Structure 1
Amino acid sequence: MATVHFSGVTKSYGSTSVVDDLNLELPDGSFTVLVGPSGCGKSTSLRMLAGLESVTSGSITIDGRDVTHLQPRERDVAMVFQNYALYPHLTVRENIAFPLRASKTPRAEAITRADEVGESLGLGKLMARKPKDLSGGQQQRVAIGRAIIRQPSVFLFDEPLSNLDAKLRVETRTELLQIQRRLGITSLYVTHDQEEAMTLSDRMVVMRDGRAAQVGTPLEVYGSPVDSFVASFVGSPKMNLVDGEIADGAFIARSGLRLALDGAGAPGRVTLGVRPDDLLVVPDADAEARVTLVELLGPRAIVTIAARGSNLTSVVETQRMSGIAEGTPVALSVRPGAAHVFDAETGRRLVGDTKDGKQPQR
C-alpha cells in the first residue's frame, strides 16, 4: 500500500495543456475516481502515474519515492485496461500467472499463486479456458486477477467497465469494490460515468480542462458542488440550472418564472440550481407551468416541465403522481433549504445547503 502525490503536474503537447498544474493526494488504501467529460485530462493523469505518458512539469511520488521519470516497470503499479488486453493464446491460468513468469518466478510457484487468485475471483472452474470462451465480465475478472497477482503498491483502472452491458457493469462494479476493500490497495480509477464514480469512490475528483474542479467524498461533491459545472455534471437526472436574479426573497428567472426560496441570499444576478428530487410539483389548474413529458421508472417518475420558456425536470415518487400527466398545469416550489445559488458570471457557489454539514475540499 502507498500514498500517491501529484504535485503541480502539467502535461502539454506543444502549446496545448492537457493537464494543468494538478495537485492531488491519493491516501493510502483509498479508492479515488477521476471523473469528467471527454478531453478533461483524466486518462492522461492516470497514464502519467503509470509511466505511459511523460510529465512536462511537476512531480509524482508513490509512498515518498519520486517516480516522475521512472519506467513503468520500476513504479510498482498494476493497470487494468478498457479492452482487457488478455493474451488470446494463453489460458486463464496462464494469463493471470504471466506477470510472475515475466519476472522469472518459478513456474510451479506462479501457477499456484494464479490458482489462488483465480479462486478468489470466482474463476476456479474457468482456469483452463481461453479468453474467447469467456463472457465480458469473466474476461474483466481475469484482467483484474493479472493485476492482483503482482501485489502492487497502486492499482490503476482505465474505464475497465465501459465495454460491458448495463447489468454486467453493476455486478462487476460491486465485485471490483469488494476486491479493493479486501486487499486495501491504493487505487485510481478513471471513468466518464458519474454514477459509477459516485458508487465506487471514497473520494471523487471532478476534472475540467485539465484541472481538478472539486475533490471530496461523493456526498460532499453531490451535496455542495463548488460551481455550476460540477453541479450540472454530478447527478442524474442532472441539476436544473436557471439564470435570473434574487429579489424580495425569491428567485425570478429571465423568463419571468418566480420561485420562493428559503434563505435566498443577497439580491443580484445569479444562476439557481435545483436538484430534480428537490423540485416539487403539485397539480394546479391556475398555474402557467405545464407537464410536457412523463417517464415512468418503477418507484419514481421523471417529469419534464415547461415553465415560461424554462424546461425543468422533477423526480416524483409514483404514489404522488395522482393528477400529474402530460399537459397537466402544475405549481412549482423548491424543497426548503435545497436551493443552490451560483454567481452568474463565475459560476462559483454562493448559497446552498451542504447535505452532510461539511464544506467541499479543493
Structure 2
Amino acid sequence: MATVRFSGVTKAYGSTSVVSDLDLELPDGSLSVLVGPSGCGKSTTLRMLAGLETVTSGTITIGDRDVTHLQPRDRDIAMVFQNYALYPHLTVAENIAFPLRANKTPRREALARAATVAESLGLSALLGRKPKDLSGGQQQRVAIGRAIIREPSVFLFDEPLSNLDAKLRVETRTELAQIQRRLGITSVYVTHDQEEAMTLSDRMIVMRDGKIAQQGAPQDVYARPADTFVAAFVGSPKMNLLEGTLTGGTFTLANGFALPIDEGATDGPLTLGVRPDDLLPTVGAADAPARVALIEHLGPRAIVTVDARGTELTSVVDTARLSGISEGTGVELAVRQGATHLFDTTTGRRIAGETR
C-alpha cells in the first residue's frame, strides 16, 4: 500500500506560513492533482513530500512509514521535473537506466530493463539517440521512463508539461494518464493549469493561500464549487459571478439589469454564478438592455461577450445558434434550467439548497 497522508502539515518561513495545517489523504493507486494560482502552496506541498523542503510541523506518511524527516533517497519516490534534467552525453537507453546503474545494477541487466520500459513508452526506436536529437515530448517520456524504472511507491510530477507547446502538451498528458493507470502507482501531480488538472486527475485538490479550498472528483468540483474562488478558478472561460438581489425568481444587479433564474434560495442579496455554457442569449429588441460586445469564433463554438448595462457577461454558444446574433445585436439572456450556482456575498461560500 502507498496511500499518502499529510497530517497537520505546516511549512513556515519565519512568521510567514506557506502551507497551513494541511490534512490530506491521497489513496493508493490514485492520480491526485494539486492545482491553484502561483503562491498557493502546491509546489511546496509536493517538495515536502519529496523531502526537498523540511516540514515545520505535522507528519507525512507513505503507506505505513512516517517519512517526515527521511532523506529523499529513503522515501521510495521518483520525481519528474519541469525541466527534463536528462544527461546530454548519455543515450536514451542510458538515461532511462541511470537510476539502476547508480544503485550498482549490472550494465547488461540495467539496459535490458531500460529497453522494456522504453517499449512501454513508445521509445524503442530511439534508444540510441542523445537528448539533443529528441523532441520535447520524447525527452519528457524519457524522463518519465527514468522514474518508472525505479519502481517507486509514489510518482511526483512538478509541472512536467509546462515547457511543451499546446498540441504536444495535450498529447503527452494523455500518454501520461494512460501510463499511470496501467502501472497503478500512486501519483501526485502539480500544475497551475486547471484544464490539465480536470483531464488528468482522479482527485483534484484546489489550493489557495496554503490551504485546501476544495477537493474531490474533478467533475464534482466543477459542478458544485465550494466558494466563489473555486468557481472562478475552475472552468474556462471562467464562471460569470454577479452580485445582486434575488426576488421571486428574478435576480437583479445593482445597475438594474434583471435576469430570470430558477428559484433556489431565500430572497435577498447573494452572488449568482452562471457557467458561460449555461448563459443563453437570443435575439432581442433593438432597445434590449443587453448587447453583444464581441464574438470570438472557435470553429463549432463561439465565445460571446455581452454588455449588460455596463456589466460584462460571457456566454459560450454553438455556432449554429448564432443566427441573427452579431456584434452590436440587442439580446435577451436566460439561464439554462437547473444551472445556477448561488453564493453568500459576504463569505463567498456556496449556499446550501440552491437549484444545482
Short-chain TM bin: over 0.9
Distance 1:265 1:168 in 2: 45
| Match of residue 196 from structure 2 | 196
Q: Following TM superposition, by how much is the alpha carbon of 1:121 offset from its aligned partner in structure 2, in angstroms?
A: 0.6
| Match of residue 350 from structure 2 | 349
Give CA-to-partner distance per residue, 1:112-133, whole Å, 9 cap, x none: 1001101111111111111111
Change (3 A) 1:81 1:353: farther
Please say if residues 263 and 337 of structure 1, whose CA atoms lie closer than 8 Å, have aligned partners that are also in contact.
no
Q: Following TM superposition, by how much is the alpha carbon of 1:248 offset from its aligned partner in structure 2, in angstroms?
A: 2.5
Matches within 5 A, 1:244-323: 244-285=244-285, 286-323=287-324
| Match of residue 335 from structure 1 | 336
Distance 1:184 1:200 in 2: 14
Distance 2:248 2:235 in 1: 30
Decide which moves more: 13-22 or 248-257.
248-257
Distance 1:64 1:240 in 2: 44
Aligned CA RMSD, in angstroms, stands at 0.9
Give the residue type in structure 2 aligned to 1:341.
L
Give CA-to-partner distance per residue, 1:334-360, whole Å, 9 cap, x none: 111111010001000015445xxxxxx
Give CA-to-partner distance per residue, 1:32-85, whole Å, 9 cap, x none: 000000000000000000000000011000002100000000000000000011
Give the residue type in structure 1 aligned to 2:158.
D
2:164 counterpart SS class: coil
Aligned length: 354
What's the TM-score once normalised by structure 1's chain length? 0.96
Distance 2:116 2:34 in 1: 31
2:89 counterpart SS class: coil
What's the TM-score once normalised by structure 2's chain length? 0.98
| Match of residue 357 from structure 1 | none
Give CA-to-partner distance per residue, 1:152-201, whole Å, 9 cap, x none: 00000000000000000011011000100100000000000000000000
Please say if residues 11 and 56 of structure 2, whose CA atoms lie closer than 8 Å, have aligned partners that are also in contact.
yes
Decide which moves more: 331-340 or 258-267.
258-267
Give the residue type in structure 2 aligned to 1:126.
L
Which 5+ residue runs of structure 1 have no aligned equivalent? 355-362
Q: Following TM superposition, by how much is the alpha carbon of 1:263 offset from its aligned partner in structure 2, in angstroms?
A: 2.0
| Match of residue 327 from structure 2 | 326
Distance 1:110 1:263 in 2: 65
Identity of aligned residues (%): 74
Distance 1:125 1:248 in 2: 67
Distance 2:53 2:137 in 1: 28
* 1:179 to 2:179 alignment: yes
| Match of residue 70 from structure 2 | 70
Which 5+ residue runs of structure 2 have no aligned equivalent? none
Matches within 5 A, 1:114-193: 114-193=114-193
1:349 counterpart SS class: coil
2:236 counterpart SS class: coil
